[in-house]
């Protein structure tokens, strides 16, 4: 498997299989629409700038800020992305809900969960965005 800025690809006997970061961006964006996350989380760049406005953002810009690479074991993927959370939101609960949604959706599409999902809390939003630098890693291993 090779990694580039926007794709993950693997050579097989049938040819090259390529998965764009747009797929991962769509899955993550869908998790933001879940009841437990709605209005409490927004995508951000690596530097902590919110992508788009509250309900609307450019999915391709978000995809450009997602890192997907082959896991160390080589049998799954590691996913990293950045978010901004609403002030007062439980970071543990929101990151757990997002991670589980993303892992379950990827499992349904490819038959295995990602090795790990790393969510960076780039900021906390109330009236303005206060920068933060927290990382939450959820490891799924070879479930």
Residue 116 domain flag: yes
Q: Does residue 107 form part of some domain?
A: yes
How many domains, the chain? 1
pTM, whole model, 2 decimals? 0.84
pLDDT (0 to 100) of residue 7: 53
User: For residue 1, what pLDDT is reported?
Assistant: 38
pLDDT score at 2: 40
Structural domain contains residue 12: no
Using an 8 Å Cβ cutoff, are 124 and 132 in contact?
Answer: yes
Mean pLDDT by 10 residues, the chain (143 residues): 48 75 91 92 91 79 88 76 95 96 90 91 91 92 61
CA distance 90 to 77: 26
Q: Is residue 1 part of a domain?
A: no
Tell me, what's the pLDDT at 6? 44
Classify residue 120 by burial, with Cβ atoms within 10 Å: 0-12, 13-18, 19+. buried
Domain span holding position 114: 22-139
Residue 12, Cβ density class (10 Å: 0-12 exposed, 13-18 middle, ≥19 buried) = exposed
């Amino acid at each position: 498997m090779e990694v580039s800025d926007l794709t993950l690809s693997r050579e097989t006997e049938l040819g090259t299989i390529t998965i764009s970061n747009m797929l991962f961006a769509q899955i993550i964006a869908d998790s933001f629409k879940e009841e437990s996350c709605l209005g409490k989380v927004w995508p951000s760049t690596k530097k902590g700038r919110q992508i788009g406005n509250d309900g609307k953002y450019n999915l391709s810009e978000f995809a450009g800020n997602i890192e997907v690479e082959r896991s160390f074991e080589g049998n799954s993927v590691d996913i990293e992305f950045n978010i901004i959370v609403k002030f007062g939101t439980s970071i543990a609960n929101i990151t757990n809900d997002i991670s589980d949604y993303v892992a379950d959706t990827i499992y349904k599409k490819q038959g295995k969960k990602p090795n790990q999902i790393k969510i960076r809390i780039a900021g906390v939003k109330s009236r303005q965005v206060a920068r933060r630098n927290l990382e939450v890693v959820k490891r799924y291993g070879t479930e």
